[in-house]
Amino acid sequence: MEIELDAAAKDKRLNRLVALTVVVLSIFMGLSQVKDGNIVQAMQQAQSNAVDRWNEYQAARIKLHVDEAALGQIQAIAPTNPAALAETTRLTSEILKYRRETPDLRKQALAEQAQYDALNVHDDQFDASDALISIAISISAVAALTESFAALIAAWAFGAGGLIMGVAGFTGASLHSDFLSRLLS
C-alpha cells in the first residue's frame, strides 16, 4: 500500500512540474510573440523606408544624368544663344542640386537598411526562442505521458535555451545563433 502512495505522489510531483513548466514557457512565449510582432512591424517600416530612399536616390541620379546630357547638348549646339544661356544656368543649378542630394539619399537608404538588419537580429532571437520553447513544451507533454523525469530535464534544457534567446530579444542583447538562423530561414 505504501509503495502505491509513493508512486502516486511521484506522478503528481512530475505532473505538477510539467504543468508549471508549460505555464511558465507558454506565458513567456505569448509575451515574446507580442514583442516579435512589434519588431516585424518596425522591420517592414524600415524596409519600406529603405526602398523609398533608394527610389529617390535612383530618380535623382537619373535626373542628374538627363540634365548633364541636356547641358552637354546645349553647349555643343548653341552655346551663345541667349535662351541657351538661360537654360544652361538652370541646368547647372539642377545638376548641383542633384549632386548635393544624392549622397544624402544614399546615406539615408543605407541607414534604413542597417536599421532593418539590426531589427532582424532580434526577430531571429524571438524566432529561435519560439522554436526552442515549442520543443520544450512538446517534450514536457511526452514527459507527462511517459512519466519520465529525464524527458522533463530535456524539456527544461530546451526551455532554458528559449528563455535565454527571448530575454536577449527583449533586452536588445547581441546574442545570436547563426546556426539556428540558417536552419530556420
Q: How many Å apart are CA 114 and CA 44, to the nearest integer?
A: 13
Residue 58's CB is within 10 A of a number of other CB atoms, namely 13
So what's the pLDDT on residue 183? Answer: 65
Note the pLDDT tens digit of each residue in 38-61: 999 999 999 999 999 999 999 999
Average pLDDT of the chain to the nearest whole number: 90
So what's the pLDDT on residue 1? Answer: 44
Domain ranges, ordered by start, for the chain: 2-184
> In this structure, are residues 103 and 112 in contact, taking their beta carbons and an 8 Å threshold?
no
CA angle 115, 119, 125 (to 5 degrees): 160
> In this structure, are residues 163 and 125 in contact, taking their beta carbons and an 8 Å threshold?
no
> In this structure, are residues 139 and 155 in contact, taking their beta carbons and an 8 Å threshold?
yes
The CA distances from residue 55 to 41, 45, 96, 108, 112, in Å, are: 21, 15, 19, 11, 13
Domain 2-184: assigned CATH number: 1.10.287
Note the pLDDT tens digit of each residue in 67-83: 999 999 998 888 788 88
Note the pLDDT tens digit of each residue in 86-108: 899 999 999 999 999 999 999 99
